[in-house]
Amino acid sequence: MRNSLQVVFLLCAWIASPAAACYSQSSGAITVHVDESMGTIDPRIYGHFTEETLSGFEGTVSSELLFNRKFEILEERDIAPPIFKGVAAGWEPIALDTHVTLVQDTQVYFSPSLSQRITLSDPNDLPAGIQQSGYQYVLPHISRKQRVDHAFVFELGERYLVRIAIKGKKLNGAVHLALGESYEHTVARVSFRLSAGEDWRVYTGELAPSSRVEKGKFMIYIDSPGTIWVDSVSLVRADLHDEGFRKDVIELTRRVTPTSIRWPGGWFASDYHWRDGIGPVDRRPARFSRAFNAHTTNDVGTDEYLALCRKLRAEPYITVNFGTGTPEEAAKWVEYCNGGPETQMGRLRAQNGHPEPYNVKLWSVGNEEYLPTLGGTSGRQYGRNFNAFSAAMRAADPKIQLVAVGAFDIPKGAIGRTHPMWPIVRYMPDWTAGVLSEAGQQMNYYSLHYYAPENVQGRSPPDINLAALVIGEDLEKKLDRVQKQMAQLAPGGKRYPIALDEWSLKINNDPTPRDAPGGATDPAQLGLQLGALTLRDALAEATVFNLMQRRPSDFVLGSRTLLYAYLVGLITVRRDRAISSPVALMLQLYSTGDACQSLRVDLSSSTFSTRAMSPSFAAVEGAKHLNTSARLHPDGKTVDLFVVNRSLDHPIDASVQLTGGQVESDVDAAILNAPTLMTVNTFAEPHRVSLERKRVRADAGQLSYLFPVHSIVKLTYRRK
């Protein structure tokens, strides 16, 4: 595997390509006008996006350790020979024997609509039961089974909390829950003798390993004749468990200062019915999402999501089901969140333990309905349906703010019905015109999603790297086009603020190797070693935050994709550990809950140009190596200057001047950098990409600063 640093050196040798030209100039000038505000930056631009089935909760921030804990995913069996073992997906029999019967039962269950039945017909030296060896939830794109092998490791001194719903019939002995290598070699066990009667009951206990087990199993079994049904079984580590969430993941997330969190999707929202996710967690049905061909336990529903938002002090942003849902269903959801105790849904919320209204203000009506997902439709029809949703939802709470689905659409006639892409983009021609003409009077904000440059197949690594670093310029061009459409088509030419509620650098078919120790490449297992986000992701996405900070009147909201997700999550999570990705470190510099003033910045810098990646990602000429934004906090004293050095081969020595007031001589500098552009953080080396902090001195508001190659620098001044 060629080292990424060698690729950088090749840039200078490749003089013939204008996209890769190296410049001898290494100086610049930055002037921040502290007394010239360009408007108030909405802090909600530093928000995040979660998707329920994209390992957004299960396997990441959720403290639950078991896969398929409600036994809803059907048994996976070989076609030949077609033998049933009788266990739910992700589980295995402890023993296959004459006296053992195992069945996924569709008639008896605690949570709809399956349970695991276990029968031991006669006294025997083998128990009847099931076991799980340990998995990591993954994106369904990586494994349709939603998991990869990741064996349990149980340590001496750990404590595990267990919970299980059990129903028995003619059982003479106890039900055992254990940890160990096998039922013959357990290191922890708790047993329950079923109470009188044969109805369902929830049992709880604690498992404390007496020694270390490297290839551990969690086991449920009986060793006396009889039958039990088990359902909604839970296993969590006590030291990491905080009301259903991982303490370590929550702590790392707090460092990012998420100001808003979008949920439950994404495409997932188009097949999500919110009533499945309320009430007792263990009674909720697990569901199959047709949008992603994946299952969810519904353990994280409305109340849990809003509890997470409160833990993180983030504003909630809910996407209603436009695809398979109705305006009436959406209105009831608004009432559940915001209705008083006198309303039907407000009473239901109180019965579920939350008497006070949540007062959720931000609601998105659907998601990407311009694509052929569940409920996909034309812009004009979407606008008509949007009005129906708006009327119903605002009847429940007139104070809510509604976000309409927007798109960087395709001009009419650009792609015809015979084009091979027509089945995918058939709803996109003139999407914006249709939405604005129908729903322009009812929407508050217009949503846009931005993933770029996407498919780079056949492009060289140097070209791809440079293209990644100009996604801010590319987004700005696309935004200008949408705003031109608004001026022409919206009622009164209104310019709707943009909710950039899904976005990130996204590079498909990337030939550039990540700087992964040991040359790890298997995507199924890669996330058990490292996160996929690199320093390149951090630099590229910083240019988007600079754009949003420079154009405060244009952006009301941002939701970076994804907060938690296997391999590509902002916070990289393994079952036993969590680390911050380079992008998370970048957000530690940018994100704030303050409503800051955007400050005018004058900039001179050397430049570079890039090649087009596709018809939708054009070449950029004359992009400045230094990319900047500045802001003034509400205290009137704290000034932040953000500088991204996009040069891949030289540092830039720039003069930095603040005008419009005196500042203190001590300036705080925070620098994000790494040895190569493609460096990632790993579980073995979590600080390969890191933040360095130091103090520099300014003379009368002026200093000279050497901005390192491929770096982000935040300079913080204080006015006198």
Q: Are residues 592 and 604 in the same domain?
A: no
Encoded amino acid at 180, one letter: G
DSSP structure class, residue 492: G
The candidate with the shortest Cα–Cα distance to 535, out of 669, 686, 684, 675, is: 675
Same domain, 214 and 346: no
> pLDDT tens across 630-688, in order?
999 999 999 999 999 999 999 999 999 999 999 999 999 999 999 999 999 999 999 99
Can you give the pLDDT at residue 21?
38
Q: What are phi and psi of 149, to 5 degrees?
A: -65, 135
**Using an 8 Å Cβ cutoff, are 70 and 231 in contact?**
yes
Same domain? For 203 and 340 the reply is no
Give the Cα separation of 24 and 653 in Å (integer). Answer: 12
Residue % of the chain over a pLDDT of 70: 96
Q: Which amino acid is at 82?
A: P
What CATH number did the domain enclosing 146 receive?
2.60.120.260
Nearest Cα to Cα of residue 652 among 704, 715, 593: 704
**What whole-number distance in Å separates Cα of residue 309 and Cα of residue 573?**
19
Residue 289: strand pairing partners: 294
Mean pLDDT computed over 144-173 = 96
**Whether residue 591 is found in the same domain as residue 658:** no
Size of the chain in residues:
720
Better-scored residue on pLDDT, 95 or 21: 95
Q: Is-contact 339 345, C-beta < 8 A? A: yes
The dihedral sign for the CA sequence 552, 557, 561, 563: positive
152-154 and 185-192 as β-strands: parallel, antiparallel, unpaired? unpaired
Question: Are residues 31 and 52 located together in one domain of the fold?
Answer: no
Structural domain tally of the chain? Answer: 3
Residue 588 pLDDT exceeds 80: yes
Residue 264 — left, alpha, or beta (φ > 0 → left; ψ -120 to 50 → alpha)? alpha
Domain identity same for 222 and 255? no
Mean pLDDT value of segment 576-599: 98
72 in a domain, yes or no? no
Range(s) of the domain holding residue 186: 92-240
Tokens of 197: 């009667």
Looking at residue 169, its pLDDT comes to 94
Q: Write the pLDDT tens digit of every residue in 162-200.
A: 999 999 999 989 999 999 999 999 999 999 999 877 799
Q: What is the mean pLDDT of the chain?
A: 94
> pLDDT tens across 448-463, in order?
999 999 999 999 999 9
Reported as a pLDDT band with limits 50, 70 and 90, residue 523 is confident
Check whether 116 has a pLDDT greater than 50: yes
Report the C-alpha gap between 406 and 495 in whole angstroms. 13
**Same domain membership, residue 323 and residue 371:** yes
626 within 8 A of 2, measured Cβ to Cβ = no
pTM of the complete model = 0.94
Domain-embedded: residue 98? yes
Helical residues (DSSP H) of 79-155, grouped into ranges? none
Residue 26: its pLDDT value, please?
75
Is residue 369, in this structure, part of any structural domain at all? yes
3-state class percentages of the chain: helix first, strand second, coil last, to nearest 5: 25, 35, 40
- Mean pLDDT of all residues in 27-37: 97
625: exposed, middle or buried (C-beta count within 10 Å: 0-12, 13-18, 19+)? buried
Half-sphere exposure of 576 (CA within 13 A, CB side): 14
Looking up residue 693, the CATH number of its domain turns out to be: 2.60.40.1180
Q: Quickly state the pLDDT bin for 475 (edges 50, 70, 90).
A: very high
Query: Are 377 and 268 within one domain?
Result: yes
Q: 88, 145 in Cβ contact below 8 A?
A: no
